[in-house]
Structure 1
């Protein structure tokens, strides 16, 4: 499925190649409690317009899921790249390599898969959840998310109740959820009535985590 809305990028990026900044000494860790943390690095991928435009043309999938007593449309488009599958842009391969180099010693294994979501406008969203299909249900792990396109709110809250933490993720920003985050916290991208353009997320995960 092709989506036709290209990003209105900066004039300074028209002839610039996408580039990843360093992670060491720049990414900032925020301790959430309960053994969970998030790392944040705004603008990790610079000159990201070309990557965004290329990813618009991947074979995005529209899915339907059972919701209580009826089947409903998933309010976003999806594409999953499994272990060993070529990623749709070389910058994503480079990004995964950089994440593995930086986080590999702490994680103890590499990121091997890449799931992608396309939020077409403010009506698309993802509800509160943790990535607990597979090993994330019982083990500490990491999920690294590269955000592209229009800025959207990314929310975090403790499982069982507590204050919501809000991060506004923009074009080229990186967030990494680690430790017990998938088991003890939930995250969401809520709907918004504000006029917003498309936003993509690329989620790098280790084997057996979804």
Structure 2
């Protein structure tokens, strides 16, 4: 899958993952969907933000993202949420759905994805938070994910489905951003002290964009808001 990534003043390090291997689709585990993941993480590229924080971008980690996207757009419990901003309550510029216990989600494919990520990163992911960016006017501002930002270190995978959008991350103290362009099926993993020392965003844009879903996997004690 073609992709483009821009890095600003950051070191770049190739991952040591094995080359991509095409495997048969296990329809029992995917609930009948033509969805597959690269269990070798063969396209992974790591960006060291500093000595203790890193990002791994895995282009095309998931194939069949359009099928998964249609399933979730149709069946997940989406809602329009709001929050206080200064002295008034405003609607968030995206839709949100969550499975606080992903093992109880009614879609076997979500159990499958969670299991693969847990095995790869050695983290018992058990919660799933999803955002639906309907078009270019939806986005999320600079933030760290709570309450995982209170942990010294964390490994948080974010799976993109649908339209191409930019994922930005920058130090808490300011500075230029690292920009990763994500396409449908791409995985971005924030590791080390990313949540403690950095903030990230999916900005709104002027260029027209179709819908995008982000699937954010976290341990039980660390629900996502990004």
TM-score (norm: length of structure 2): 0.80
Deviation of residue 34 (structure 1)? Answer: 5.0
Identify the residue that residue 123 of structure 1 maps to in structure 2.
Answer: 137
Identify the residue that residue 63 of structure 2 maps to in structure 1.
Answer: 46
Cα RMSD over matched residues?
1.7
**1:111-153 deviations in Å (ceiling 9; x for gaps):** 110000000011100000011x224323211111010000100
Gaps of 5+ in 2: 1-32
Matches within 5 A, 1:27-176: 27-57=44-74, 58-83=76-101, 85-104=103-122, 109-131=123-145, 133-176=146-189
Name the SS for the 2:77 alignment partner: coil
Gaps of 5+ in 1: 1-15
Higher alpha-carbon deviation: 90-99 or 134-143: 134-143
Q: How many correspondences in the alignment? A: 191
Give the conservation status (yes or no) of the 8 Å contact 2:41–2:58. Answer: no
TM-score (norm: length of structure 1): 0.85
Alpha-carbon distance between aligned partners in 2 of 1:101 and 1:85, rounded to the nearest angstrom: 15
Identify the residue that residue 37 of structure 2 maps to in structure 1.
Answer: 20
Give the conservation status (yes or no) of the 8 Å contact 2:154–2:192. Answer: yes
Do the aligned partners of residues 195 and 207 (structure 1) sit closer, same or farther apart at CA in structure 2, a change above 3 Å counting?
A: same
Give the conservation status (yes or no) of the 8 Å contact 1:23–1:102. Answer: no
**1:48-95 deviations in Å (ceiling 9; x for gaps):** 211111111122010110001110001000011112552353222211
